[in-house]
Amino acid sequence: MSGSQQIKCVIFDIGGVVVGSPLAAINEYEEEHGLPRHWINLAITQQGSQGAFQRFERNETDLYSFYKKFGEELSNTAQNNEWYRKFCTVRGMPIPKNLPQSIEIDGRRLFGFMMRSSYNPDPKMLRAISILRESGRFKVAALTNNFKPPSAPAPEGEAVPTLDEEVKHLGIGPAFAQLKAFFHLFIESSEVGMRKPDPEFYKYALKELQVEAQETVFLDDIGINLKSAKKLGINTIRVHPTSSVPALQELEKMVGMQLLDEEDIVEYEQKLAKRRKQSKL
């Protein structure tokens, strides 16, 4: 690749890239409830394409039906423990002796916690997006798995909050609308009816943006999403949860533009050196 001479489009995932990741909230929830790390995330992903979370992000189920089914799936300890044991075995990890025998996970409470924890933007990413767009050299888009905000109150007779209370519970506010304005195109799973890592979702994005796969860079924090994009010929960059700096440095090389301030790099290197020092203690 000849770097910026070939790249015409940069596509960003949202959660875990431009704003915080719901995975951090899941990890915190697991710790608070004595669950092994990755237990809940595995329980969500192993449901496959017809899981409650997956169907909700394709707008195939309403919010309140999703809450109920989401909680039921995550509370199925027999199935989830089986998946977790296989997960540990494949990775050569010891299987915890204290896997939950019984647990009741409130789908609404957990999902609200996940959403409220993932709306804080990364200023470095937002600055990079602005620089790319203002250069006039690239199409800048978002490709996100998300859900449609509630637009109607809960069904009658259900003991749930009002519509306004539900919107607040999910952390939805004007900041999300403002975020969309950073992009030429904002592609949402809940609008299109497809979600990552479905290859058709990426093909849809390329068609809408009128670019070829090899002309595109895609940033995401989830390996399976990047793997699916890469199979189509899309250039990929993984964004790690500890810092977006390495990913943006890689993007700088691909687009031939400075996207980071010197202060960002110095701060990152200082934190990295501190972590290395602590790991040796």
CATH of the domain at 15: 3.40.50.1000
CA distance readout (Å), 109 to 26, 67, 68, 78: 12, 9, 11, 22
* Domain limit, last residue, from 52, 86, 115: 115
How open is the CA angle 23-150-51, to the nearest 5 degrees? 50
Burial call 247-279: b when 16+ CB within 10 Å, e when fewer: bbebbbebbeeebbeeebeeebeeeeeeeeeee
86-102 residue pLDDT tens? 999 999 999 999 999 99
Average pLDDT over residues 59-70: 95
Please check whether residues 176 and 241 belong to one and the same domain: yes
Joined together, the tokens standing for residue 41 give 């995330």
Interatomic CA distance for residues 125 and 117, integer angstroms: 18
CA distance readout (Å), 234 to 54, 131, 157, 226, 239: 23, 22, 49, 9, 16
Please check whether residues 159 and 27 belong to one and the same domain: no
Burial call 123-147: b when 16+ CB within 10 Å, e when fewer: ebbeebbebbbeeeebbbbbbbbbb
State the pLDDT at residue 281: 60
Residue 115 parent element (H or E): helix 107-116
The one-character DSSP state at 101 is: S
The count of structural domains within the chain is 2
Pair 137, 9: CB distance under 8 Å: no
- Return mean pLDDT, the chain: 93
Please check whether residues 169 and 212 belong to one and the same domain: yes
Entry pTM:
0.89
> Look-up: residue for tokens 């999703």?
66
Please check whether residues 90 and 144 belong to one and the same domain: no
Closest CA to 10 of 224, 262, 182: 182
* Domain limit, last residue, from 95, 115, 135: 115
State the pLDDT at residue 174: 80
The whole domain housing 143 covers 3-21+122-280
The one-character DSSP state at 51 is: S
Please check whether residues 109 and 245 belong to one and the same domain: no
Interatomic CA distance for residues 145 and 13, integer angstroms: 8
Please check whether residues 105 and 143 belong to one and the same domain: no
1-15 residue pLDDT tens? 445 569 999 999 999
State the pLDDT at residue 165: 86
The one-character DSSP state at 152 is: S
245-278 residue pLDDT tens? 999 999 999 999 999 999 999 999 998 888 887 7
What residue spans of 121-194 are helical by DSSP H?
123-135, 163-169, 174-180, 189-192
Please check whether residues 149 and 44 belong to one and the same domain: no
Joined together, the tokens standing for residue 190 give 């809940």
120-158 residue pLDDT tens? 899 999 999 999 999 999 999 999 999 988 866 566 655
Interatomic CA distance for residues 54 and 195, integer angstroms: 8
Pair 34, 99: CB distance under 8 Å: no
* Domain limit, last residue, from 58, 81, 115: 115
Pair 234, 112: CB distance under 8 Å: no
Please check whether residues 244 and 157 belong to one and the same domain: yes
